Amino acid sequence: MFRTDERRLDQWERRVEWPLTCLAALFLAAYAWQVLDDRSTPGLHGVLEAVLRAVWLVFAVDYAVRLKPAVDKRRFFTAHLFDLVAVLLPAVRVLRLLTVLKLLNRRFAGRVRQRIGVYVAGVTVLVGACASLAVLDAERHHPDATITTFGDAAWWTLTTISTVGYGDRYPVTWEGRLVAALLMVGGIALLGVITGTTASWLVERLSGVEGSVAEAERATLAELRPVKAELAALRAELEHRPGV
Amino acid sequence: MFRTDERRLDQWERRVEWPLTCLAALFLAAYAWQVLDDRSTPGLHGVLEAVLRAVWLVFAVDYAVRLKPAVDKRRFFTAHLFDLVAVLLPAVRVLRLLTVLKLLNRRFAGRVRQRIGVYVAGVTVLVGACASLAVLDAERHHPDATITTFGDAAWWTLTTISTVGYGDRYPVTWEGRLVAALLMVGGIALLGVITGTTASWLVERLSGVEGSVAEAERATLAELRPVKAELAALRAELEHRPGV
Amino acid sequence: MFRTDERRLDQWERRVEWPLTCLAALFLAAYAWQVLDDRSTPGLHGVLEAVLRAVWLVFAVDYAVRLKPAVDKRRFFTAHLFDLVAVLLPAVRVLRLLTVLKLLNRRFAGRVRQRIGVYVAGVTVLVGACASLAVLDAERHHPDATITTFGDAAWWTLTTISTVGYGDRYPVTWEGRLVAALLMVGGIALLGVITGTTASWLVERLSGVEGSVAEAERATLAELRPVKAELAALRAELEHRPGV
Amino acid sequence: MFRTDERRLDQWERRVEWPLTCLAALFLAAYAWQVLDDRSTPGLHGVLEAVLRAVWLVFAVDYAVRLKPAVDKRRFFTAHLFDLVAVLLPAVRVLRLLTVLKLLNRRFAGRVRQRIGVYVAGVTVLVGACASLAVLDAERHHPDATITTFGDAAWWTLTTISTVGYGDRYPVTWEGRLVAALLMVGGIALLGVITGTTASWLVERLSGVEGSVAEAERATLAELRPVKAELAALRAELEHRPGV
């Protein structure tokens, strides 16, 4: 019975994967429209708000549907933590778009570093876009704000995630600073992953560990083979001697 | 006799571990109260000051108690350098709270990278909280200060430890700059540990050193086994030949 | 027939390598002159513009000449992506100057880390020079610009690529910010490569993987050799026994 | 004859090592005095200038003395590049003080990571002190200067080498910016070395490459030993059979 539930869950996840990704794209589009079009009529604003809430509802329903048949609820929580965060935090939902990267993944199967590169680039662009929108939304109407257009917001995002931080633009509201905190953590992680990938590539290429091991092993095998041949010859000789 | 002292020291350390951690939490709370509540009455201020001094005294006594039975004083100094710093520097005492992380440690036993992650996160949060309080304490009453509320101080701590450094807030007193120096060293170390952990994970996953070695060794063993079997057969044949 | 085309392409590439590098140097010189000499007469300006366009034309023709005989057009695109970018983006053309580094490469053959160092230094200097010129070109005539001389531009480039970012100078036009974006990506990559190279060197020097493997293998071989000798002796004995 | 020269050179280097280090300390002290004591009398200024020039002369003479007996001048240039830079650039001379670290080196013999840590800390402190003095010397009398006291200079050095870069203080003269450029390169290198050391330590501790190799090898050896024993037994049997 457990197995059936597990399989049904798998089927469900595969079936809703692409629709949910499209919904995430819709969410990003609606959110961007809402933030960027500051002079939208109340009617349009209501439509966009409805779209955002509907997407949220779909994500919440999907989470509930998948939670219900799960046998070990606690394991489900830890394994699907990202999904829970996506339900609770609107902006995270957009990261669902990374599913699109699975198409690229198929091309880079086996080449782990290329896949890491594609994911890092994808996450950086998506997080950057969302952070720009969120910080613009938070700062725009503050009297002391230095970030008042999307161009400013994108520029600020760039200077923050690269840890350059000129200081010509910076958030002054606490929502904006929260976005900044997430971006900085992202920037540090970004540096870590880029450096780590480079280092691992260099270690592999330069230290020649694999090469030297393979060579040493080949030497051992080369020594072993004549031993085997010798033994076989010895045995053959013993067997075919008539007088023994 | 040495053994008895060593064992007594061990027992002492295990017994005082949790009380000292609680005292560290009390210290952090009293220090935070003193710094944040700027308009506290002289009476309350006196109480908080007394608490801070009492905690300091307990830590000093604990150090003295442990130093006394130590046979090799010099080895004790190098092994318990952190404890000495904790006695001399009030803010470091708070890092005792990291003992709480030992609970998590038990869950991640053997998974070194997760433990490093937990420690790095714990140290960063605690150091950040203490640095925010300390810089606020130092800057607040300076005429040119840009850091005058706890929100400002926390934001400044974040921009500093991530090495972004917008420059919208920065310390102007020498105490504040000392806090900044410690934070920057911490920020660089943080980057180093995050990058290093990522790199080591990637090296392990991608270079496949272990895998290739294991495989090569398995090949060698596979070659060795028939040699052994052949030898055994040869011996058996020789032994059972009647005429030889 | 394919082979002939491939060989012809190879010959072409080897023949045009140095002339194209010289053209890239000419391009850099003409571009620098155009940007730095702000009060040039219209006549001189026209000459420099003509030089820049002529160089562009040569690069485009070279690309077309090499694309034509290529059998697998798609593979050509991915393999010569840099050349296409060099045709479309003027500034990239200057990186052709890195061909000069091939001279150094010959000296460091086999020493991968030195070659990486030379390339990183070369790319950093060339990218820095081009970025300084490009940002000066973009910012100079903007009313709010803080970058108005080549000295300012070079100083800004340095603070950006090192991710220090004081904020005393920063671009305000979108062209200038695009240059900044490329520089920041470059700065992060630079950090990654430097760190990675250091890490790989340390891993190689300190972990002693190669050494331990080689030693272990030597021990195995030392054990194998007497086995072989024993077998040879055994066989010799069996063969030379008259009575058997 | 070559050998004699080489040995004499070695003797010379060992004999002048400590005197030159003392001279470097004297140089740093005189330079610091000259920069910090802005209102020194012309007489004192003349004495300090004479000391700086005398130290320079001694370093130049030492270089010449060592260059003369060198058989392969070109190899001498590349091997003693640092000494030539130390003669040409006054500030570099101070790095001679790192010789003091050799005392620590003896304690950490074999522990490469501790030695790297000690060197990095030593270089950082010395470079930071010299950069603070040099930038103060360069900026102090400029009308737009933001760095006018040694405290400001030290604070600026700290924000620069950690790549935080608040922008509350920054150099405006080209000499100050040159110092900044060297500091930034140093800051990037510092990050690289710290990260690399952490990564290498983690790789060694976590990937367990050495351990797994040793274990696999032990398994192979365990298989080999009975083969050897078997062969010895076989031979013994054949030899002691009377009738064969």
Give the percent of chain B with pLDDT over 90. Answer: 11
Whether the per-residue pLDDT at D55 is higher than 70: the answer is yes
Does some domain include residue D101? no
Do C31 and C52 fall within a single domain? yes
- For residue C230, what is the nearest residue in chain A, using CA coordinates? A227
Q: How far is A131 from chain C (nearest CA, A)?
A: 16
Dihedral (Cα; D29, D31, D33, D35), 10-degree rounding:
-150
Which is higher by pLDDT, A217 or B46? B46
Give the least confident one: A96-100, A135-139, C195-199, D200-204.
Answer: A96-100
Least confident of B119-133, C56-70, D98-112: D98-112
Does residue A197 sit in the same domain as residue A242? no
- Interfacial D residues in 69-88 facing A (CB < 8 Å): none
Q: Assess whether pLDDT exceeds 80 at residue C129.
A: yes
Both A216 and A203 in a single domain? no
Residue D164: closest CA among chain C residues belongs to which residue? Answer: C164
Is D215 a domain residue?
A: yes
- The H or E element that residue B54 is part of is helix B42-67
Range of the domain at A223: 212-244
Give me the DSSP letters along D54-87. HHHHHHHHHHHHHHTT-SSHHHHHHHTHHHHHHH
Range from A141-150, C179-188, D79-88 that averages highest in pLDDT: A141-150
| Domain final residue, candidates D93, D120, D142 | D93
Tell me the C-alpha distance between B119 and B186, whole Å.
Answer: 13
Q: What is the mean pLDDT of residues A12-28?
A: 83
**Do residues B73 and B7 both lie within one domain?**
yes
What's the token pair of residue A156?
A: 């600020």
User: Does residue B226 share a domain with residue B197?
Assistant: no
Q: Check pLDDT > 90 for residue C225.
A: no
D165 closest CB neighbour out of C165, C195, C196: C165
Residues of C in contact with A163 (CB under 8 A): 163, 165
- Residues C20, C52 share a domain: yes
Per-residue confidence band for A171, with pLDDT thresholds at 50, 70 and 90: very high
- Out of A127-136, A179-188, C183-192, least confident range: C183-192
**Amino acid identity at A183:** L
Cα–Cα distance for residue pair D108/B18, rounded to 1 Å: 35
Per-residue pLDDT band at A55 (split at 50, 70, 90): confident
B226 touches chain A (CB under 8 A): yes
Q: Are C86 and C59 in contact (CB under 8 A)?
A: yes
Q: Are residues B220 and B159 in the same domain?
A: no
pLDDT at D160: 92
C244 has pLDDT over 60: no
Please report, for residues D5, D23, D59, D71, D102, the alpha-carbon distance to residue D9 in angstroms, rounded to integers and kept in the order given.
Answer: 6, 20, 15, 11, 20
State the average pLDDT over residues A182-190.
83
Does residue B161 fall inside a structural domain?
yes
pLDDT in tens, A194-230: 777 777 777 666 555 444 455 555 666 666 766 777 7
Number of domains in chain B: 3
Tell me, yes or no, whether C202 and C244 share the same domain: no
pLDDT of residue C158: 92
C134 and C182 share a domain?
yes
Residue of C nearest to B198 (CA): C196
> Residue C102 falls within a domain, yes or no?
no
Residue of chain D with shortest Cα separation from B193? D198
Mean pLDDT, residues B70-96 taken together: 73
Residue D33 within a domain: yes
pLDDT band at residue D209 using 50, 70 and 90 as cut-offs: very low
Q: Which of C167, C193, C231 sits opposite A227 (nearest CB)?
A: C231
Q: Please give the pLDDT value at position D62.
A: 84
Determine, yes or no, domain membership for A102.
Answer: no
- Average pLDDT in chain D: 77
* C244 neighbors A241 (Cβ within 8 angstroms): yes
Is the same domain home to D155 and D89? no
* Closest residue by Cα to residue D238 from C127, B37, C159, C240: C240
**CATH code for the domain in which residue A170 is found:** 1.10.287.70
Contact D151, B174 (CB under 8 A): yes
Please indicate whether residue A34 or residue D207 has the higher confidence score (pLDDT): A34
**Does any domain span residue C136?**
yes
Per-residue pLDDT at D1: 45
Mean pLDDT of A130-143: 89
Same domain, C130 and C162: yes
Q: What is the pLDDT of residue D244?
A: 43
Q: At what angle do helices A112-139 and A150-161 cross, to 10 degrees?
A: 130
Q: Is residue A38 part of a domain?
A: yes
Which chain D residue lies closest to C190 (C-alpha atoms)?
D188
Residues of B in contact with D155 (CB under 8 A): 177
Nearest to B202 among A185, A200, A239 (CB): A200
Better-scored residue on pLDDT, A109 or A198: A198
Average pLDDT value for residue range D184-193: 81
Residues D146, D202 share a domain? yes
Interface with C, mutate which of D182, D204, D207 (most C CBs under 10 A): D204
Q: Among B50, B69, B63, which residue's Cα sits nearest to residue B96? A: B63
Predicted pLDDT of residue D27 = 85
B218 to chain C nearest CA, in Å? 14
CA distance B20 to chain A (A): 32
Residue of B nearest to A215 (CA): B216
Amino acid B112: pLDDT: 67
Most confident of A174-178, B1-5, B67-71, D10-14: A174-178
- Please report the pLDDT score of residue D210 as a whole number: 45
CA distance D153 to D145: 11
pLDDT band at residue D92 using 50, 70 and 90 as cut-offs: low
Q: Is the pLDDT of residue B156 over 90?
A: yes
pLDDT tens readout for residues B166-204: 989 999 998 889 889 988 988 887 777 777 777 777 766
Per DSSP, helices labelled H in chain D are 2-36, 42-67, 73-79, 81-88, 90-93, 101-107, 112-139, 150-161, 174-207, 209-240
Alpha carbons within 13 angstroms on the beta-carbon side of residue D153 total 23
Residue A91 has pLDDT above 60, yes or no: yes
- For the ranges A207-221, B39-53, D100-114, the lowest mean pLDDT is seen at A207-221
Q: How many CB atoms lie within 10 A of CB D11?
A: 10
Last residue of a domain, one of B94, B123, B146: B94
Whole-number average pLDDT of chain B = 77
Distance from CA of B153 to the nearest CA of C (A): 20
Which of the four pLDDT bands, split at 50, 70 and 90, describes residue D172? very high
Which pLDDT belongs to residue A232?
72
pLDDT at B229 over 90: no
* Residue, of B206 and C2, whose pLDDT is higher: B206
Evaluate if residue C98 carries a pLDDT over 70: no
Phi and psi dihedrals of A148, rounded to 5?
-125, -10
- Name the DSSP letter for residue D95: G
Q: Is A96 a residue whose pLDDT tops 60?
A: yes
Contact of A196 with chain D, judged by CB distance below 8 Å, is answered with: yes
* Terminal Cα distance for chain C, rounded: 68
Give every CB contact of residue B38 below 8 A, 6+ residues apart in sequence.
B140
Share of chain C above pLDDT 70, in %: 73
> Is C123 an 8 Å CB contact of chain D?
no
Question: What is C73-129 written as a DSSP string?
Answer: HHHHHHHTHHHHHHHH-HHHHGGGGGGGHHHHHHHTTT-HHHHHHHHHHHHHHHHHH
In B17-51, which positions are buried (b, 16+ CB within 10 angstroms) versus exposed (e)? Answer: eeebbebbbebbebbbbbbeeeeeeeeeeeebeeb
Considering only the beta carbons, identify the residue of A163, A165, A199 that sits closest to D199. A199
Touching check for C203 and chain B: CB below 8 Å?
Answer: yes
Last residue of a domain, one of C62, C93, C124: C93
Question: CB of B57 within 8 Å of any CB in chain D?
Answer: no
Give CA–CA dist A48/C56, Å, rounded: 47
Residue A155: the pLDDT is 94
